[in-house]
Structure 1
Amino acid sequence: MSSDQLLPGFSRGHALQLSSVPTNSMQALTVAVRSNPVHWQSYLNSQMISPEDFQVICAYDQAKTHAARDKVIAKHGENCARTFISLMQRISKEETVKYVVTAVDDMLAEDPGRSNLFFEYAKKTRSSPWDGFMNLLNRQNNFIIHQTSRIIAKLACWGKEKMNRKDLVFYINWIKHQLVSGASSNSPGIMQSEVTDFTQNILHCLQMMLRVPEYRIAFFETDGMAALMTVLGFKCGFQIQYQTIFCIWLLAFTPEIALKLNQYNPVPVLADILGEAAKEKVTRIVAATFRNMIEKPGDIEVVKTISLAMIHCKVLKNLEILQDKQFADEDLTEDIEYLVEHLTASLHDLSSFDEYSSELKSGRLDWSPVHKSEKFWRENAIRLNEKNHELLKILTNLMEKSTEPLILAVATHDIGEYVRHYPRGKKIIDQLGIKQIVMKLLAHQNSEVKYNALIAVQKLMVHNWEYLGKQLVSA
């Protein structure tokens, strides 16, 4: 797959030029490495490399044009791959390894078809084309790791064979680890700009990989979406935001993944980014991702849930503001129009219970009218038992894990209203262990949380809560 080949639905307006990463310290170091060629004669004299490898690497180094390098490769064939792999395996000096991996990356970038040299050599030696590179990912030098990861991604995407399952899972897990550790890194002695540059380059590799459907599925099955959400959860610049959301957009092209994306609750985070985006390309990729999340699942209930989450997170309001702006990208304008039309139609069909369910699933509770509506609770309290008490379990999770007083206050209030309007609810609350969680909130430092926990506990323990309510008010 060539680097400029587009996915279905991947227009030029959406396309990321994957062959060029934004200028950063890694690129600057690459230029420096290229300008310091290795003295190969010394390695030959010390018998650290073979005469055959010496002949190939010297011929390649001396070829200064694309055409000249093609001639060297045509003459030596898969022996070029043998030489590069041999040099990486036999030489430990970091400066030399930097030079070799840079040469390999440049060779592949210049002509993706050259990736097949490594597959031909692997077939001839009954080895894996990845054998010469995977171990380099364990090096301590970030530049070597960076260049190696780029090579692996190129071979995986441009080679004649797809990466085998074992190596694919290893590489994906390595990418996930780098993203999560990079996003949360506050390591002493490491400049934050270096971490940012490295993360951008890892994301660049992932963007390449996720253009291949089989790799998308493998990444999602190994919980890769969680790593992407972790990156977006930390404060990061617009470039990392863009690249990370680009990866989510690519994942959403696969219907079986699009069906499950909402398990990671991406809508609130993406909605916040849409509302705050200062760069058009960030707005564009968020809108394109939202469109994929609606168009690709092919399941009415999933699409409804995602649409309601967007409405609750004020995506429609932000899109209506964007409608008044002029954009050079026609795809962005089209995506905005599509989303506004779809979400407006969803809003017209929105019931109070849909609104409530969407709010809970977003994890962003506030005192919206449904929480204090007698009519709502009278008609819908029993519905909290649906889907194996799904909404009750969400309320429980929020009370256990949230640190925001508003969310805790609203959640405990809702538990009280549930048992108030559903007499058998107290037994279910006991079975799910919710009563103990509410009791703990009686000691919360926030007065609103403490008050609502007290009312909820009283509703759990007494029958005549209307009388109790009047007594509390008169007190």
Structure 2
Amino acid sequence: MLSAEAPLVDTAVLDSNNNDTTINDTPTPAPDTATSSLIEDVTLTIIAHPYLDELADKIRNEPIPWEGYERAGLITADEVAMIQHVENKSSEEITHVMSEHGLYYAGMYLDLMHKLARVDAVQKVLVMIQDMLNEHDERIVLFHQASEGRPGYPFAPFHKALRINDEFIGIQSSKLLALLVCSTKNRDIDIDDFFRWMTFQLQSRNPSLIELNIQILDALFHIPAYRKSFWNTLHAMDSFINVLKKGTSNPQVTYEAVFALWLLTFDEEIAANLNRKYDVIPMLVEIAKSAVKEKIIRVVVATFKNLVEKAPKANLSAMLVAKLLPFTEHLHTRKWSDQEVVNDIDLIQAELQNNFQSLTTFEVYASELETGKLEWSPPHQSENFWQKNAVRLNENDHQLLKMLARLLSSNKTEILAIACHDVGQYAKYAGADGKKYLHDLGAKQRVMELMTHEDQEVRYYALSATQKYFAMSS
């Protein structure tokens, strides 16, 4: 049973031979928190990729002049001796050394990360740390033990390394930070700086780096406080959502990205604002429809469940607009290996059906504006609807009218045509102030520009709206 709200203590996983997301079934339970058995064999993402292994192998074979560093006063003779005792040794030899002296090596590696600045030396230290932890993730605890009484440790040396302009140092330090964070109750006070750094990494053109960073987020988001930290980091969510929107041909990467999103939705504030800011509901519907792996659909469904349970008012209407109800009806007919998926689908379907029956026509229309998913539904074409509701677009400082005005810049012709039509209906029924509001928002000017649009339907409704606008002013 996976508890996404549980603090993961001493459960960090490192496996360089497995690039799939796996989770054990021993998370520390958190009292009075929401739980989910989305995938019973998952608790913490493995942070691994062949690309990272290839970089490490190249660095491992490069000689480093440690004696020269000693003569320069950068490291001590004892440190040189300890390095040479494990450098380029077999895993069996390293295991023997670490079983007796692991705590001393953890302390030395932290010191080296803190005081060294040369790229080749820092790379080598990071590879030695990886060799220390390989198939022995429990040794990560040694870094915490070696940091007792040392303010900022064990996190600070790896934060320092992030400032070095090197791809391997950046991603390997990030991975170790994630493992350190997820293996202690102590919080990394510089996590905001870490997330700012990751924001840029998520914009990389290297898909391997993006996947590794998504895996790191999967690990960090198991800790509730870090979800909010990432959410509040400038441009962090934009970079993350762009990864999802661009899509990938790799089902594993898609799964890892949606898994991170699912973890974020355990936070009520995030669940309430996620779709409003990033329009994720229709995107998730499309991901589930095109998924070839059942686990992708499962994590999408679990995300919808969180959105329904944590923030129903913010999400149910948008789900109806995205046609999630008929999609859940389709999912209900499929065979599932996990009964909890069936339960989640039933819950979502029931909530959507109840919400659909209670929605007024105006709420349906408002949801279309809020999501930007205009279509020729009955409200648009009903004169009675506009007679009753045109002035309601002025409520809350013209919030809905502003949304309608923004849709006049859509890159989709159907949305442009519908938006022009609606502006015309608003101008016709909103009263004497309607003209002024449209002018102030720039909607009048934009509609007039659309009279020369290449699409015939857009031109027609733009002309019609313009005529209604000027008829209103006469």
Does the pair score TM above 0.5? yes
Distance between the aligned counterparts of 1:455 and 1:197, measured in 2? 51
Select which of 230, 236, 261 maps to 1:248.
261
Could you say if the C-alpha distance between residues 109 and 90 of structure 1 is closer, same or farther in structure 2, counting changes exceeding 3 Å?
Answer: same
Q: What does the per-residue CA deviation read over 1:296-338, in whole Å, with 9 as the maximum and x for residues that have no partner?
A: 23xxxxx134112112112122222222211222222221122
Distance between the aligned counterparts of 1:11 and 1:109, measured in 2? 28
Q: Secondary structure at the match of 1:366?
A: coil
Select which of 338, 348, 372 maps to 1:339.
348
Distance between the aligned counterparts of 2:393 and 2:180, measured in 1? 51
Distance between the aligned counterparts of 1:266 and 1:168, measured in 2? 25
Q: Are 2:248 and 1:236 aligned?
A: yes
CA-atom RMSD, angstroms?
A: 2.8
Q: CA deviation at 1:43?
A: 5.2
Q: Are 2:128 and 1:103 aligned?
A: yes
Q: CA deviation at 1:70?
A: 2.8
Distance between the aligned counterparts of 1:398 and 1:17, measured in 2? 41
Q: Are 2:272 and 1:259 aligned?
A: yes
**Is 441-450 or 22-31 further displaced after alignment?**
22-31
As a proportion of its length, which structure holds more helix? 1
Distance between the aligned counterparts of 1:54 and 1:267, measured in 2? 55
Q: Which residue of 1 aligns with 2:429?
A: 421
Distance between the aligned counterparts of 2:42 and 2:407, measured in 1? 38
Distance between the aligned counterparts of 2:117 and 2:400, measured in 1? 59
Q: Which residue of 2 aligns with 1:136?
A: 161
- After the TM superposition, which residues 57-456 of structure 1 pair with which residues of structure 2 at under 5 Å, given as runs? 57-61=83-87, 64=93, 66=95, 68-74=97-103, 76=104, 80-86=106-112, 89-90=115-116, 92=118, 94=120, 96-108=121-133, 114-119=139-144, 121-122=146-147, 124-164=149-189, 167-179=190-202, 181-182=203-204, 185=205, 195-223=206-234, 224-237=236-249, 238-264=251-277, 265-297=279-311, 303-400=312-409, 402-424=410-432, 425-456=434-465
Distance between the aligned counterparts of 1:315 and 1:229, measured in 2? 20
Structure 2 residue identity aligned to 1:219: F
Q: CA deviation at 1:240?
A: 2.5
Structure 2 residue identity aligned to 1:243: E
Could you say if the C-alpha distance between residues 319 and 73 of structure 1 is closer, same or farther in structure 2, counting changes exceeding 3 Å?
Answer: same
Could you say if the C-alpha distance between residues 83 and 148 of structure 1 is closer, same or farther in structure 2, counting changes exceeding 3 Å?
Answer: closer
Q: Which residue of 1 aligns with 2:15?
A: none
Distance between the aligned counterparts of 1:116 and 1:418, measured in 2? 64
Preserved contact between residue 178 and residue 219 of structure 2 (Cα < 8 Å) = yes
Q: What does the per-residue CA deviation read over 1:335-360, in whole Å, with 9 as the maximum and x for residues that have no partner?
A: 11221222122222232212211112
Distance between the aligned counterparts of 2:38 and 2:391, measured in 1? 50
Distance between the aligned counterparts of 1:53 and 1:105, measured in 2? 18
Q: CA deviation at 1:239?
A: 2.4
Structure 2 residue identity aligned to 1:72: H
Q: CA deviation at 1:170?
A: 0.9
Distance between the aligned counterparts of 1:464 and 1:127, measured in 2? 67
Structure 2 residue identity aligned to 1:307: L
Could you say if the C-alpha distance between residues 381 and 152 of structure 1 is closer, same or farther in structure 2, counting changes exceeding 3 Å?
Answer: same
Q: Secondary structure at the match of 2:261?
A: helix
Q: CA deviation at 1:58?
A: 3.9
Q: What does the per-residue CA deviation read over 1:160-180, in whole Å, with 9 as the maximum and x for residues that have no partner?
A: 52011xx2111001111111x
Could you say if the C-alpha distance between residues 296 and 414 of structure 1 is closer, same or farther in structure 2, counting changes exceeding 3 Å?
Answer: same
Q: What does the per-residue CA deviation read over 1:395-432, in whole Å, with 9 as the maximum and x for residues that have no partner?
A: 111113x1111111110110110121222322322333
Distance between the aligned counterparts of 2:151 and 2:260, measured in 1? 34
Q: Which residue of 1 aligns with 2:471?
A: 462
Q: Secondary structure at the match of 2:354?
A: helix
Q: Secondary structure at the match of 1:11?
A: coil
Structure 2 residue identity aligned to 1:398: L
Structure 2 residue identity aligned to 1:64: E
Distance between the aligned counterparts of 1:327 and 1:427, measured in 2? 56
Could you say if the C-alpha distance between residues 417 and 39 of structure 1 is closer, same or farther in structure 2, counting changes exceeding 3 Å?
Answer: closer
Preserved contact between residue 305 and residue 358 of structure 1 (Cα < 8 Å) = no
Could you say if the C-alpha distance between residues 42 and 87 of structure 1 is closer, same or farther in structure 2, counting changes exceeding 3 Å?
Answer: farther
**Is 38-47 or 249-258 further displaced after alignment?**
38-47
Preserved contact between residue 67 and residue 80 of structure 2 (Cα < 8 Å) = no
Preserved contact between residue 396 and residue 434 of structure 1 (Cα < 8 Å) = yes
Distance between the aligned counterparts of 1:9 and 1:109, measured in 2? 31
Select which of 29, 52, 74 maps to 1:26.
52
Structure 2 residue identity aligned to 1:272: E
**Is 54-63 or 250-259 further displaced after alignment?**
54-63
Could you say if the C-alpha distance between residues 288 and 421 of structure 1 is closer, same or farther in structure 2, counting changes exceeding 3 Å?
Answer: same
Could you say if the C-alpha distance between residues 127 and 328 of structure 1 is closer, same or farther in structure 2, counting changes exceeding 3 Å?
Answer: closer
Q: CA deviation at 1:60?
A: 4.7
Select which of 82, 85, 103 maps to 1:56.
82
Preserved contact between residue 369 and residue 404 of structure 2 (Cα < 8 Å) = yes
Preserved contact between residue 114 and residue 160 of structure 2 (Cα < 8 Å) = no
Structure 2 residue identity aligned to 1:85: D
Q: CA deviation at 1:137?
A: 2.1
Q: CA deviation at 1:221?
A: 1.4
Q: CA deviation at 1:111?
A: 5.4
Could you say if the C-alpha distance between residues 87 and 312 of structure 1 is closer, same or farther in structure 2, counting changes exceeding 3 Å?
Answer: closer
Could you say if the C-alpha distance between residues 261 and 11 of structure 1 is closer, same or farther in structure 2, counting changes exceeding 3 Å?
Answer: same
Could you say if the C-alpha distance between residues 282 and 83 of structure 1 is closer, same or farther in structure 2, counting changes exceeding 3 Å?
Answer: closer
Select which of 32, 35, 42 maps to 1:9.
35
Structure 2 unaligned spans of 5+: 1-8, 13-23
